[in-house]
Amino acid sequence: MSLGLSSTRSSAAGCWLVIYPVAVFSSRNFKLQDKAERIVILGTGGTIAGKAADAADNVGYKAGQVGVDQLVLAAPPLAAFKLETEQVAQLDSKDMDFATWQRLAQAVDRHLQRDDVRGVVITHGTDTLEETAYLLMRVLAPRKPVVLTAAMRPSTALQADGPQNLLDAVAVASQAASGVFAVLAGRIHGATRLRKVHSYAIDAFASVEGGALGTVEEGRVRWLSQAEAELPPLGLSRIARDASQWPWVEIVQNHAGADGRVVEAMLAHGVHGIVVAGTGNGTLSNGLTAALQKARDRGVSVLRSTRCDAGPVIGGELPSAGALSPVKARIELLLQLLA
């Protein structure tokens, strides 16, 4: 291709994020300082690859319609980089599933092991991006950067945000030392503290408990804080089991009038693990507490999280998920059970 791309079609992380000072990127004078120059971009679909019939329509679009090669062509400054693309999946991230997670993690690991690869960028939908980022952070120990990016507007929008986000993500992948990041709206986030906090706005993501790790400003990567401390990696072998055989882990929520009937229903159908999103400091109604204790007595694993956007769950009789959001606590419990 004219942008120097080589395209493949196969569809075949907890760690400490080590961040060092980085050089300034310019599309005119960019030069990598080591032999690993290639950035691999893995496409999975999402709004960034979405299309609408009307350019003024930012809602009535269909996600996952544009191939990853086309996403690269929509950002001409990417011609400054040595790129390779692979279409791992093409779906709306609200439909993200275990099989795609497994295939994606294996693809990331495969490319990271190549001597000529500097880093990996993943184009993703926004709905479950924070979950995928956390999964990759827990099962990989990347010595190179893995950067997820996305868009809140489809590729056909009058002011599509996807091309800039992709350009920024590649800039970060070319300069960061190691770790799993998300780059959106000019901000660099770590996998653990990342949250989608707005349903529609362009800057829909935030890092709770400390803010973003850095920014990308007109091609300049600027780090604002030290890397967040991540959990040690569990290893890719955790997800080697066929995706159809992964444990069933569900999320329940405490709310006014909550009782234990939903937990009883799950027990009757063979649930393996339950994450409960409690109110405040993970508080639960008496009925829900009793039902979850019953589930534990029957061998079901339980983790207690909170509906709050930030802050840890401290104390209590049921095991705490710490500061993990309910969806990330579900991934943590799922990976523990996959052991």
Residues marked active site are found at: 47
Q: Check if the beta carbon of residue 91 is closer than 8 Å to that of residue 117.
A: no
Torsion from C-alpha of 177, 182, 188, 189, nearest 10 degrees: -100
Cα separation, 109 vs 123, in Å, equals 16
- Sequence-separated (6 or more) residues with CB below 8 Å from residue 228: 17, 190, 192, 193, 210, 213
Instruction: Identify the CA nearest to 108 among candidates 161, 195, 179.
Output: 179
| Cα Rg of the chain (Å, integer) | 20
φ, ψ for residue 41, nearest 5 deg: -110, 120
Q: Which residue reads 């500061």 in tokens?
A: 323
- Per-residue DSSP letter, 158: T
Q: Which CA distances in Å does 200 have to 28, 47, 113?
A: 34, 12, 37
Here the tokens at position 142 are 């990347």
